[in-house]
Structure 1
Amino acid sequence: MHRLVLATRNAHKVTELRSILADAGITAELVGADAFPEVGDVKETGVTFAENALLKARALAAATRLPAVADDSGLCVDVLGGAPGIFSARWAGRHGDDRANLELLLAQLADVSDPHRGAHFACAAALVLPDGTERVTEGRLRGTLRHAPAGAGGFGYDPILQPDGDTRTCAELSPAEKNAISHRGLAFRALAAEIAAMPTSSSR
Protein backbone atom coordinates (compact mmCIF):
# COMPACT_ATOMS: atom_id res chain seq x y z
CA MET A 1 0.00 0.00 0.00
CA HIS A 2 1.21 3.47 -0.83
CA ARG A 3 1.26 6.14 1.82
CA LEU A 4 0.58 9.62 0.56
CA VAL A 5 0.53 12.88 2.43
CA LEU A 6 -2.06 15.42 1.36
CA ALA A 7 -0.86 19.00 1.60
CA THR A 8 -3.88 20.42 3.38
CA ARG A 9 -5.25 20.75 6.89
CA ASN A 10 -8.79 20.96 5.53
CA ALA A 11 -10.60 17.87 6.85
CA HIS A 12 -13.28 18.21 4.14
CA LYS A 13 -10.65 17.91 1.41
CA VAL A 14 -8.97 14.90 3.04
CA THR A 15 -12.31 13.07 3.23
CA GLU A 16 -13.25 14.03 -0.33
CA LEU A 17 -9.92 12.96 -1.81
CA ARG A 18 -9.91 9.65 0.03
CA SER A 19 -13.24 8.90 -1.64
CA ILE A 20 -12.14 10.10 -5.09
CA LEU A 21 -8.91 8.07 -5.06
CA ALA A 22 -10.68 4.99 -3.71
CA ASP A 23 -13.24 5.22 -6.52
CA ALA A 24 -10.36 5.50 -8.99
CA GLY A 25 -8.91 2.23 -7.67
CA ILE A 26 -6.08 3.71 -5.61
CA THR A 27 -5.53 1.72 -2.41
CA ALA A 28 -3.49 4.41 -0.74
CA GLU A 29 -3.25 5.46 2.87
CA LEU A 30 -3.95 9.16 2.60
CA VAL A 31 -2.99 11.34 5.55
CA GLY A 32 -3.42 15.07 5.90
CA ALA A 33 -0.75 17.57 6.82
CA ASP A 34 -2.04 17.48 10.40
CA ALA A 35 -0.21 14.15 10.75
CA PHE A 36 3.02 16.17 10.56
CA PRO A 37 2.54 19.07 13.00
CA GLU A 38 6.21 19.97 12.74
CA VAL A 39 5.70 21.03 9.12
CA GLY A 40 4.59 24.63 8.78
CA ASP A 41 1.99 26.00 6.39
CA VAL A 42 3.15 26.83 2.89
CA LYS A 43 2.62 30.32 1.55
CA GLU A 44 0.63 30.21 -1.68
CA THR A 45 2.69 32.73 -3.64
CA GLY A 46 1.96 31.31 -7.09
CA VAL A 47 -0.18 33.15 -9.62
CA THR A 48 -1.90 30.04 -10.98
CA PHE A 49 -3.64 27.05 -9.40
CA ALA A 50 -0.89 24.76 -10.76
CA GLU A 51 1.91 26.83 -9.24
CA ASN A 52 0.27 26.86 -5.81
CA ALA A 53 -0.46 23.12 -5.90
CA LEU A 54 3.18 22.40 -6.74
CA LEU A 55 4.46 24.71 -4.00
CA LYS A 56 2.47 22.81 -1.38
CA ALA A 57 3.28 19.33 -2.70
CA ARG A 58 7.01 20.10 -2.99
CA ALA A 59 7.18 21.38 0.58
CA LEU A 60 5.41 18.34 2.04
CA ALA A 61 7.43 15.85 -0.01
CA ALA A 62 10.68 17.48 1.11
CA ALA A 63 9.65 17.66 4.76
CA THR A 64 8.15 14.17 5.11
CA ARG A 65 10.19 12.23 2.52
CA LEU A 66 6.89 10.76 1.34
CA PRO A 67 5.02 11.19 -1.94
CA ALA A 68 2.86 14.28 -1.58
CA VAL A 69 -0.31 15.30 -3.34
CA ALA A 70 -1.81 18.75 -3.24
CA ASP A 71 -4.47 20.72 -4.95
CA ASP A 72 -5.28 24.34 -5.41
CA SER A 73 -8.77 25.17 -6.48
CA GLY A 74 -11.23 27.98 -6.63
CA LEU A 75 -14.21 29.60 -8.24
CA CYS A 76 -13.74 31.59 -11.45
CA VAL A 77 -16.61 33.94 -12.29
CA ASP A 78 -16.96 34.99 -15.92
CA VAL A 79 -18.24 38.51 -15.30
CA LEU A 80 -15.40 39.12 -12.80
CA GLY A 81 -12.75 38.16 -15.33
CA GLY A 82 -12.00 34.86 -13.59
CA ALA A 83 -11.97 36.17 -10.01
CA PRO A 84 -11.94 35.18 -7.19
CA GLY A 85 -9.70 32.50 -8.80
CA ILE A 86 -6.61 31.77 -6.74
CA PHE A 87 -7.92 34.15 -4.07
CA SER A 88 -11.16 32.19 -3.57
CA ALA A 89 -10.34 30.95 -0.06
CA ARG A 90 -9.52 34.47 1.17
CA TRP A 91 -11.81 36.61 -0.98
CA ALA A 92 -13.30 38.36 2.05
CA GLY A 93 -9.88 38.93 3.61
CA ARG A 94 -9.48 36.02 6.03
CA HIS A 95 -8.36 32.64 4.71
CA GLY A 96 -10.94 29.86 5.00
CA ASP A 97 -13.94 31.96 6.08
CA ASP A 98 -16.39 30.24 3.75
CA ARG A 99 -19.45 32.17 4.86
CA ALA A 100 -17.82 35.60 4.54
CA ASN A 101 -16.36 34.72 1.13
CA LEU A 102 -19.72 33.53 -0.17
CA GLU A 103 -21.65 36.50 1.20
CA LEU A 104 -19.19 39.00 -0.29
CA LEU A 105 -19.33 37.35 -3.70
CA LEU A 106 -23.13 37.29 -3.72
CA ALA A 107 -23.19 40.99 -2.79
CA GLN A 108 -20.81 41.80 -5.62
CA LEU A 109 -23.03 39.94 -8.08
CA ALA A 110 -26.37 41.13 -6.71
CA ASP A 111 -27.27 43.13 -9.83
CA VAL A 112 -25.95 40.58 -12.35
CA SER A 113 -28.75 38.81 -14.25
CA ASP A 114 -28.92 35.05 -14.75
CA PRO A 115 -27.56 34.99 -18.33
CA HIS A 116 -24.33 36.58 -17.08
CA ARG A 117 -23.80 34.48 -13.95
CA GLY A 118 -21.67 31.81 -15.61
CA ALA A 119 -18.73 30.46 -13.61
CA HIS A 120 -16.60 27.39 -13.12
CA PHE A 121 -14.73 25.62 -10.39
CA ALA A 122 -11.10 24.97 -11.36
CA CYS A 123 -8.64 22.59 -9.74
CA ALA A 124 -4.99 21.77 -10.28
CA ALA A 125 -3.78 18.55 -8.64
CA ALA A 126 -0.08 17.98 -8.12
CA LEU A 127 1.94 14.88 -7.28
CA VAL A 128 5.53 15.30 -6.10
CA LEU A 129 7.78 12.35 -5.24
CA PRO A 130 10.78 12.60 -2.90
CA ASP A 131 13.07 12.04 -5.91
CA GLY A 132 11.78 15.24 -7.52
CA THR A 133 9.35 13.68 -10.00
CA GLU A 134 6.38 15.99 -10.55
CA ARG A 135 3.02 15.74 -12.31
CA VAL A 136 0.13 18.21 -12.54
CA THR A 137 -3.38 17.58 -13.86
CA GLU A 138 -6.37 19.91 -14.03
CA GLY A 139 -10.15 19.74 -13.97
CA ARG A 140 -13.10 22.13 -14.36
CA LEU A 141 -16.77 22.13 -13.48
CA ARG A 142 -18.92 24.65 -15.38
CA GLY A 143 -22.12 26.06 -13.98
CA THR A 144 -24.24 29.06 -13.08
CA LEU A 145 -24.24 31.01 -9.84
CA ARG A 146 -27.44 31.10 -7.82
CA HIS A 147 -28.64 34.30 -6.15
CA ALA A 148 -28.81 32.60 -2.74
CA PRO A 149 -27.15 29.53 -1.17
CA ALA A 150 -28.93 26.16 -1.34
CA GLY A 151 -27.94 22.84 0.20
CA ALA A 152 -26.12 21.74 3.33
CA GLY A 153 -23.41 19.57 1.78
CA GLY A 154 -19.98 20.39 0.42
CA PHE A 155 -18.02 23.47 1.45
CA GLY A 156 -16.70 26.74 0.10
CA TYR A 157 -18.79 28.06 -2.79
CA ASP A 158 -20.66 24.75 -3.33
CA PRO A 159 -24.01 26.20 -2.15
CA ILE A 160 -24.16 28.72 -5.00
CA LEU A 161 -22.78 26.90 -8.06
CA GLN A 162 -25.40 24.97 -10.04
CA PRO A 163 -23.58 22.62 -12.45
CA ASP A 164 -24.60 22.76 -16.09
CA GLY A 165 -27.28 20.17 -16.81
CA ASP A 166 -28.51 19.97 -13.21
CA THR A 167 -31.14 21.81 -11.19
CA ARG A 168 -29.29 21.49 -7.89
CA THR A 169 -26.25 23.24 -6.45
CA CYS A 170 -23.07 21.32 -5.66
CA ALA A 171 -24.09 21.50 -2.00
CA GLU A 172 -27.32 19.62 -2.80
CA LEU A 173 -25.53 16.72 -4.49
CA SER A 174 -24.55 13.57 -2.64
CA PRO A 175 -20.80 13.13 -2.12
CA ALA A 176 -20.75 10.43 -4.83
CA GLU A 177 -22.63 12.64 -7.29
CA LYS A 178 -20.36 15.56 -6.62
CA ASN A 179 -17.15 13.55 -6.91
CA ALA A 180 -18.29 12.13 -10.26
CA ILE A 181 -18.41 15.56 -11.90
CA SER A 182 -16.36 17.88 -9.72
CA HIS A 183 -13.27 19.78 -10.76
CA ARG A 184 -11.33 18.05 -8.00
CA GLY A 185 -12.64 14.63 -8.98
CA LEU A 186 -11.64 15.17 -12.62
CA ALA A 187 -8.17 16.43 -11.71
CA PHE A 188 -7.40 13.66 -9.23
CA ARG A 189 -8.78 10.87 -11.41
CA ALA A 190 -6.42 12.08 -14.11
CA LEU A 191 -3.62 11.90 -11.55
CA ALA A 192 -4.62 8.41 -10.36
CA ALA A 193 -2.58 6.58 -13.00
CA GLU A 194 0.56 8.42 -11.87
CA ILE A 195 -0.12 7.52 -8.24
CA ALA A 196 -0.79 3.88 -9.11
CA ALA A 197 2.55 3.66 -10.94
CA MET A 198 4.57 4.87 -7.95
CA PRO A 199 6.91 2.43 -6.22
CA THR A 200 5.63 1.35 -2.81
CA SER A 201 6.71 3.82 -0.15
CA SER A 202 7.59 2.83 3.36
CA SER A 203 5.63 4.38 6.19
CA ARG A 204 7.24 6.96 8.37
Structure 2
Amino acid sequence: MKRKVVLASRNADKVRELQQLFAELDLEVLSSADFPGLPEVIEDGTTTVENARRKAILTAAYTGHIAVADDTSLEIRELNGFPDIFAARFSGPQATYRSNVQLVLELMGDVPAASRQARFSTACVWVDPCPERQDHRAARPAISRWLRNPWARSIGIRDTAREWDFWNGLMDRRRVWDVYRRQMELDQVTWGHDRARLREVAEGLFLGCPDALRPGETLDKSAHQEGVRLPDTRLWAVDGPETSARPLTEVAPSGLPADAPGRETNGPFWFEMATEGKILGDITTEPVGALGFGYDPIFRPEGERRTLAEMPAAEKNAISHRGQAMRRLLTAVRETYGEG
Protein backbone atom coordinates (compact mmCIF):
# COMPACT_ATOMS: atom_id res chain seq x y z
CA MET A 1 0.00 0.00 0.00
CA LYS A 2 1.35 3.39 -0.99
CA ARG A 3 2.24 5.78 1.77
CA LYS A 4 0.61 9.18 1.57
CA VAL A 5 2.45 12.48 1.51
CA VAL A 6 0.61 15.74 2.16
CA LEU A 7 1.86 18.94 0.54
CA ALA A 8 1.38 21.56 3.24
CA SER A 9 -0.19 24.23 1.08
CA ARG A 10 -3.60 25.36 -0.13
CA ASN A 11 -2.02 27.38 -2.92
CA ALA A 12 -3.24 25.56 -6.04
CA ASP A 13 -0.39 26.90 -8.20
CA LYS A 14 2.28 25.77 -5.78
CA VAL A 15 0.63 22.37 -5.22
CA ARG A 16 0.48 21.79 -8.98
CA GLU A 17 4.19 22.58 -9.31
CA LEU A 18 5.16 20.32 -6.40
CA GLN A 19 2.97 17.46 -7.64
CA GLN A 20 4.88 17.49 -10.93
CA LEU A 21 8.14 17.17 -9.02
CA PHE A 22 6.79 14.35 -6.82
CA ALA A 23 5.39 12.31 -9.71
CA GLU A 24 8.51 10.13 -9.89
CA LEU A 25 8.05 8.69 -6.38
CA ASP A 26 5.78 5.79 -5.47
CA LEU A 27 3.66 7.87 -3.11
CA GLU A 28 0.06 9.06 -3.07
CA VAL A 29 0.30 12.84 -3.15
CA LEU A 30 -2.34 14.92 -1.35
CA SER A 31 -2.48 18.55 -0.25
CA SER A 32 -3.80 20.59 2.67
CA ALA A 33 -6.99 21.15 0.65
CA ASP A 34 -7.81 17.45 1.18
CA PHE A 35 -8.03 18.07 4.95
CA PRO A 36 -10.60 20.84 5.57
CA GLY A 37 -10.07 20.75 9.34
CA LEU A 38 -6.31 21.33 9.14
CA PRO A 39 -5.58 24.62 10.95
CA GLU A 40 -3.26 27.31 9.62
CA VAL A 41 0.11 27.77 11.26
CA ILE A 42 1.54 31.18 12.11
CA GLU A 43 4.70 31.61 10.05
CA ASP A 44 6.75 33.51 12.60
CA GLY A 45 10.15 31.93 12.06
CA THR A 46 13.09 34.12 11.08
CA THR A 47 14.16 31.90 8.16
CA THR A 48 12.47 30.00 5.36
CA VAL A 49 13.62 26.71 6.93
CA GLU A 50 11.94 27.51 10.24
CA ASN A 51 8.69 28.55 8.57
CA ALA A 52 8.66 25.40 6.42
CA ARG A 53 9.33 23.30 9.51
CA ARG A 54 6.37 24.81 11.33
CA LYS A 55 4.04 24.05 8.41
CA ALA A 56 5.32 20.50 7.96
CA ILE A 57 5.17 19.65 11.67
CA LEU A 58 1.59 20.84 12.09
CA THR A 59 0.46 19.12 8.87
CA ALA A 60 2.06 15.81 9.90
CA ALA A 61 0.57 16.12 13.39
CA TYR A 62 -2.94 16.67 12.07
CA THR A 63 -3.02 14.22 9.15
CA GLY A 64 -0.85 11.39 10.46
CA HIS A 65 0.91 11.26 7.07
CA ILE A 66 4.29 12.40 5.78
CA ALA A 67 4.16 16.16 5.28
CA VAL A 68 6.20 18.26 2.88
CA ALA A 69 6.26 22.03 3.23
CA ASP A 70 8.17 24.77 1.51
CA ASP A 71 8.73 28.44 2.20
CA THR A 72 10.17 31.06 -0.13
CA SER A 73 11.85 34.41 0.33
CA LEU A 74 12.66 37.10 -2.22
CA GLU A 75 15.54 39.39 -1.30
CA ILE A 76 15.96 42.53 -3.41
CA ARG A 77 19.27 44.28 -2.82
CA GLU A 78 18.00 47.78 -3.47
CA LEU A 79 15.13 47.32 -0.98
CA ASN A 80 17.38 46.41 1.94
CA GLY A 81 16.60 42.74 1.37
CA PHE A 82 12.81 43.11 1.42
CA PRO A 83 10.37 41.41 0.91
CA ASP A 84 12.58 38.64 2.39
CA ILE A 85 10.50 36.08 4.32
CA PHE A 86 7.44 38.35 3.99
CA ALA A 87 7.24 37.76 0.24
CA ALA A 88 3.78 36.14 0.29
CA ARG A 89 2.16 38.90 2.34
CA PHE A 90 4.37 41.86 1.44
CA SER A 91 1.50 44.10 0.34
CA GLY A 92 -0.65 43.33 3.38
CA PRO A 93 -2.80 40.62 4.98
CA GLN A 94 -5.04 40.44 1.88
CA ALA A 95 -2.07 40.33 -0.50
CA THR A 96 -2.46 38.87 -3.98
CA TYR A 97 0.13 38.02 -6.61
CA ARG A 98 -0.80 41.19 -8.44
CA SER A 99 -0.65 43.50 -5.40
CA ASN A 100 2.74 42.13 -4.32
CA VAL A 101 4.20 42.59 -7.80
CA GLN A 102 2.77 46.09 -8.08
CA LEU A 103 4.23 47.09 -4.72
CA VAL A 104 7.71 45.85 -5.63
CA LEU A 105 7.62 47.71 -8.96
CA GLU A 106 6.38 50.84 -7.19
CA LEU A 107 9.23 50.68 -4.68
CA MET A 108 11.83 49.99 -7.36
CA GLY A 109 10.57 52.68 -9.74
CA ASP A 110 13.40 53.94 -11.95
CA VAL A 111 16.22 52.13 -10.13
CA PRO A 112 18.80 51.43 -12.87
CA ALA A 113 19.32 47.92 -14.25
CA ALA A 114 22.72 47.60 -12.58
CA SER A 115 21.06 47.85 -9.14
CA ARG A 116 18.05 45.56 -9.60
CA GLN A 117 19.66 42.34 -8.36
CA ALA A 118 17.51 39.89 -6.42
CA ARG A 119 17.65 36.38 -5.01
CA PHE A 120 14.91 33.79 -4.63
CA SER A 121 15.42 31.19 -1.86
CA THR A 122 13.26 28.19 -1.01
CA ALA A 123 13.47 25.71 1.84
CA CYS A 124 11.70 22.33 1.62
CA VAL A 125 11.05 20.21 4.71
CA TRP A 126 9.90 16.58 4.95
CA VAL A 127 8.43 15.34 8.24
CA ASP A 128 7.58 11.66 8.70
CA PRO A 129 5.48 11.12 11.85
CA CYS A 130 5.54 7.31 11.51
CA PRO A 131 9.01 6.27 10.28
CA GLU A 132 9.25 2.53 9.69
CA ARG A 133 12.96 2.49 10.54
CA GLN A 134 14.76 4.00 13.48
CA ASP A 135 18.14 4.57 11.82
CA HIS A 136 17.34 7.11 9.10
CA ARG A 137 20.08 9.61 8.32
CA ALA A 138 20.08 11.85 5.26
CA ALA A 139 23.22 12.67 3.29
CA ARG A 140 24.14 16.27 2.54
CA PRO A 141 23.08 18.64 1.14
CA ALA A 142 19.95 17.52 3.01
CA ILE A 143 19.99 18.12 6.76
CA SER A 144 18.16 15.59 8.90
CA ARG A 145 17.17 15.31 12.53
CA TRP A 146 14.85 13.38 14.82
CA LEU A 147 12.03 14.97 16.80
CA ARG A 148 9.88 13.84 19.65
CA ASN A 149 6.19 13.88 18.84
CA PRO A 150 5.31 17.40 20.08
CA TRP A 151 1.87 16.21 21.15
CA ALA A 152 3.00 13.03 22.92
CA ARG A 153 2.33 14.68 26.23
CA SER A 154 0.49 17.91 26.91
CA ILE A 155 0.81 19.35 30.40
CA GLY A 156 0.56 23.01 29.46
CA ILE A 157 3.14 25.74 29.78
CA ARG A 158 4.75 26.84 33.00
CA ASP A 159 4.60 30.60 32.72
CA THR A 160 8.16 31.73 33.36
CA ALA A 161 10.04 34.32 31.34
CA ARG A 162 12.76 31.84 30.42
CA GLU A 163 10.34 29.26 29.05
CA TRP A 164 8.31 31.81 27.13
CA ASP A 165 11.43 33.11 25.40
CA PHE A 166 12.29 29.60 24.24
CA TRP A 167 8.69 28.66 23.50
CA ASN A 168 8.08 31.55 21.16
CA GLY A 169 11.61 31.99 19.87
CA LEU A 170 11.13 35.62 20.83
CA MET A 171 14.78 36.54 21.20
CA ASP A 172 15.74 35.47 17.68
CA ARG A 173 12.82 37.32 16.12
CA ARG A 174 13.39 40.46 18.16
CA ARG A 175 17.00 40.57 16.97
CA VAL A 176 15.80 40.45 13.36
CA TRP A 177 13.30 43.24 13.93
CA ASP A 178 15.88 45.34 15.80
CA VAL A 179 18.33 45.08 12.89
CA TYR A 180 15.68 46.30 10.44
CA ARG A 181 14.70 49.16 12.73
CA ARG A 182 18.27 50.30 13.33
CA GLN A 183 18.96 50.29 9.61
CA MET A 184 15.89 52.40 8.95
CA GLU A 185 16.73 54.86 11.70
CA LEU A 186 20.36 55.25 10.63
CA ASP A 187 19.62 55.39 6.90
CA GLN A 188 22.57 53.09 6.26
CA VAL A 189 20.77 51.06 3.63
CA THR A 190 19.42 51.30 0.12
CA TRP A 191 15.75 52.14 -0.12
CA GLY A 192 14.88 51.89 -3.79
CA HIS A 193 12.98 54.57 -5.62
CA ASP A 194 10.61 55.51 -2.79
CA ARG A 195 12.30 55.53 0.62
CA ALA A 196 9.27 56.84 2.51
CA ARG A 197 6.99 54.18 1.04
CA LEU A 198 9.36 51.35 1.93
CA ARG A 199 9.59 52.66 5.50
CA GLU A 200 5.79 52.65 5.64
CA VAL A 201 5.63 49.05 4.39
CA ALA A 202 8.31 47.92 6.85
CA GLU A 203 6.55 49.58 9.79
CA GLY A 204 3.34 47.85 8.75
CA LEU A 205 5.11 44.49 8.95
CA PHE A 206 6.43 45.36 12.41
CA LEU A 207 2.98 46.34 13.69
CA GLY A 208 1.55 43.06 12.45
CA CYS A 209 3.97 41.03 14.58
CA PRO A 210 3.56 41.16 18.37
CA ASP A 211 7.22 40.26 18.92
CA ALA A 212 8.32 43.40 17.06
CA LEU A 213 6.34 45.92 19.09
CA ARG A 214 8.05 48.50 21.25
CA PRO A 215 6.56 49.99 24.43
CA GLY A 216 3.59 52.13 23.51
CA GLU A 217 3.04 50.54 20.09
CA THR A 218 -0.22 48.75 19.35
CA LEU A 219 -0.67 45.52 17.41
CA ASP A 220 -2.47 46.02 14.11
CA LYS A 221 -4.84 43.08 14.40
CA SER A 222 -5.97 43.42 10.80
CA ALA A 223 -2.41 42.62 9.70
CA HIS A 224 -1.64 40.00 12.35
CA GLN A 225 -1.52 36.43 11.11
CA GLU A 226 -4.05 34.06 12.69
CA GLY A 227 -3.49 30.38 13.34
CA VAL A 228 -1.65 27.86 15.52
CA ARG A 229 1.57 29.20 16.98
CA LEU A 230 4.41 26.72 17.35
CA PRO A 231 7.58 27.18 19.37
CA ASP A 232 11.16 27.11 18.24
CA THR A 233 11.27 23.58 16.81
CA ARG A 234 14.60 22.86 18.54
CA LEU A 235 12.47 22.25 21.61
CA TRP A 236 11.63 18.76 20.32
CA ALA A 237 14.91 17.78 18.65
CA VAL A 238 16.64 14.62 19.93
CA ASP A 239 19.68 12.63 18.83
CA GLY A 240 17.47 9.74 17.74
CA PRO A 241 14.85 7.22 18.90
CA GLU A 242 17.51 5.54 21.04
CA THR A 243 17.23 8.53 23.39
CA SER A 244 13.94 7.18 24.71
CA ALA A 245 15.19 7.41 28.28
CA ARG A 246 14.91 11.18 28.08
CA PRO A 247 11.69 12.68 29.44
CA LEU A 248 8.77 13.35 27.13
CA THR A 249 8.06 16.82 25.82
CA GLU A 250 7.45 19.11 28.78
CA VAL A 251 5.23 21.48 26.85
CA ALA A 252 2.89 20.81 23.95
CA PRO A 253 1.32 23.45 21.72
CA SER A 254 -2.39 24.05 21.80
CA GLY A 255 -4.53 24.37 18.70
CA LEU A 256 -4.41 20.80 17.34
CA PRO A 257 -8.05 19.66 17.09
CA ALA A 258 -9.01 16.78 19.36
CA ASP A 259 -10.32 14.82 16.36
CA ALA A 260 -7.15 15.23 14.28
CA PRO A 261 -6.54 11.84 12.56
CA GLY A 262 -2.85 11.93 13.43
CA ARG A 263 -3.43 11.92 17.18
CA GLU A 264 -4.12 8.17 17.05
CA THR A 265 -1.53 7.13 14.47
CA ASN A 266 1.59 9.24 14.93
CA GLY A 267 4.62 7.60 16.50
CA PRO A 268 6.67 8.87 19.45
CA PHE A 269 9.62 9.89 17.22
CA TRP A 270 9.48 11.73 13.91
CA PHE A 271 12.08 12.00 11.14
CA GLU A 272 12.75 15.31 9.40
CA MET A 273 14.82 16.30 6.35
CA ALA A 274 15.38 19.83 5.03
CA THR A 275 16.92 21.17 1.82
CA GLU A 276 17.36 24.59 0.24
CA GLY A 277 17.61 26.08 -3.24
CA LYS A 278 18.57 29.55 -4.46
CA ILE A 279 18.56 31.42 -7.75
CA LEU A 280 20.02 34.83 -8.60
CA GLY A 281 18.47 37.27 -11.02
CA ASP A 282 17.12 40.77 -11.39
CA ILE A 283 13.79 42.57 -11.12
CA THR A 284 12.29 43.73 -14.41
CA THR A 285 10.62 47.12 -14.83
CA GLU A 286 7.27 45.55 -15.70
CA PRO A 287 5.58 42.14 -15.56
CA VAL A 288 6.47 39.88 -18.49
CA GLY A 289 4.92 36.47 -19.17
CA ALA A 290 1.69 34.71 -18.25
CA LEU A 291 3.02 31.44 -16.82
CA GLY A 292 4.12 30.64 -13.27
CA PHE A 293 2.81 32.57 -10.27
CA GLY A 294 3.82 34.99 -7.54
CA TYR A 295 6.76 37.19 -8.49
CA ASP A 296 7.65 35.08 -11.55
CA PRO A 297 6.60 37.79 -14.07
CA ILE A 298 9.17 40.26 -12.70
CA PHE A 299 12.06 37.90 -11.90
CA ARG A 300 14.59 37.30 -14.68
CA PRO A 301 17.15 34.60 -13.75
CA GLU A 302 20.81 35.43 -14.14
CA GLY A 303 21.98 34.77 -17.70
CA GLU A 304 18.40 34.56 -19.04
CA ARG A 305 16.49 36.89 -21.32
CA ARG A 306 13.14 35.57 -20.12
CA THR A 307 11.38 35.87 -16.79
CA LEU A 308 10.30 32.76 -14.89
CA ALA A 309 6.75 33.51 -16.08
CA GLU A 310 7.84 33.04 -19.70
CA MET A 311 9.20 29.54 -19.11
CA PRO A 312 7.21 26.30 -19.45
CA ALA A 313 6.85 24.44 -16.14
CA ALA A 314 9.49 21.79 -16.88
CA GLU A 315 12.03 24.39 -17.94
CA LYS A 316 11.32 26.59 -14.92
CA ASN A 317 11.52 23.67 -12.49
CA ALA A 318 14.92 22.73 -13.91
CA ILE A 319 16.50 25.98 -12.70
CA SER A 320 14.19 27.50 -10.09
CA HIS A 321 14.85 27.84 -6.37
CA ARG A 322 11.88 25.58 -5.55
CA GLY A 323 12.91 23.05 -8.18
CA GLN A 324 16.45 22.88 -6.77
CA ALA A 325 15.27 22.45 -3.19
CA MET A 326 12.69 19.83 -4.11
CA ARG A 327 15.06 17.78 -6.28
CA ARG A 328 17.56 17.71 -3.42
CA LEU A 329 14.79 16.59 -1.10
CA LEU A 330 13.63 13.87 -3.50
CA THR A 331 17.20 12.62 -3.83
CA ALA A 332 17.43 12.45 -0.04
CA VAL A 333 14.11 10.57 0.10
CA ARG A 334 15.29 7.98 -2.43
CA GLU A 335 18.62 7.50 -0.67
CA THR A 336 17.06 7.32 2.79
CA TYR A 337 13.87 5.36 2.07
CA GLY A 338 14.77 3.56 -1.15
CA GLU A 339 11.75 5.10 -2.90
CA GLY A 340 11.43 5.54 -6.66
Common fold by TM > 0.5: yes
What stretches of structure 1 move > 4 A for 4+ residues in a row? none
Find the aligned partners of 1:115 and 1:184 in 2 and give their Cα distance. Answer: 26
Does 2:196 correspond to 1:58? no
In our comparison, the structure showing a higher alpha carbon Rg is: 2
Q: Name the residue aligned to 1:74.
A: 73
Structure 1 residue 145 displacement after superposition: 0.7
Q: Which runs of 5+ in 1 are unaligned?
A: none
Structure 1 residue 96 displacement after superposition: 4.5
Structure 1 residue 120 displacement after superposition: 1.3
Find the aligned partners of 1:177 and 1:96 in 2 and give their Cα distance. Answer: 28
Q: Name the residue aligned to 1:145.
A: 283
After TM superposition, the score normalised by the length of structure 2 is 0.56
Higher relative contact order (CA 8 A, sep 6+): 2
Q: Deviations over 1:141-188 (max 9, x none)?
A: 111110000000011000000111110000000001100001000001
Structure 1 residue 95 displacement after superposition: 4.7
Q: Name the residue aligned to 2:326.
A: 188
**Percent of paired sites with the same residue:** 43
More strand by share: 1
Q: Deviations over 1:69-122 (max 9, x none)?
A: 000002111122321011001111125411111101100000311000000111
Contact 1:26/1:195 (<8 A) preserved = no
Contact 1:89/1:95 (<8 A) preserved = no
Contact 1:68/1:127 (<8 A) preserved = yes
Q: Name the residue aligned to 1:123.
A: 122
Find the aligned partners of 1:123 and 1:105 in 2 and give their Cα distance. Answer: 19
Q: Which runs of 5+ in 2 are unaligned?
A: 130-268
Q: Name the residue aligned to 1:169.
A: 307
Aligned residue for 1:92, secondary structure, equals coil
Q: Deviations over 1:43-62 (max 9, x none)?
A: 10111100000000000111
Q: Name the residue aligned to 1:154.
A: 292
AA partner of residue 6 (structure 2): V
Find the aligned partners of 1:193 and 1:64 in 2 and give their Cα distance. Answer: 24
Find the aligned partners of 1:84 and 1:95 in 2 and give their Cα distance. Answer: 15
Q: Name the residue aligned to 2:41.
A: 42
Find the aligned partners of 1:95 and 1:60 in 2 and give their Cα distance. Answer: 23
Q: Say what the alpha-carbon RMSD is for the aligned residues.
A: 1.5
AA partner of residue 166 (structure 1): E
AA partner of residue 31 (structure 1): L
Paired residues in the alignment total: 198
Q: Name the residue aligned to 1:179.
A: 317
Q: Deviations over 1:5-38 (max 9, x none)?
A: 011000111110111223xx32322111011111
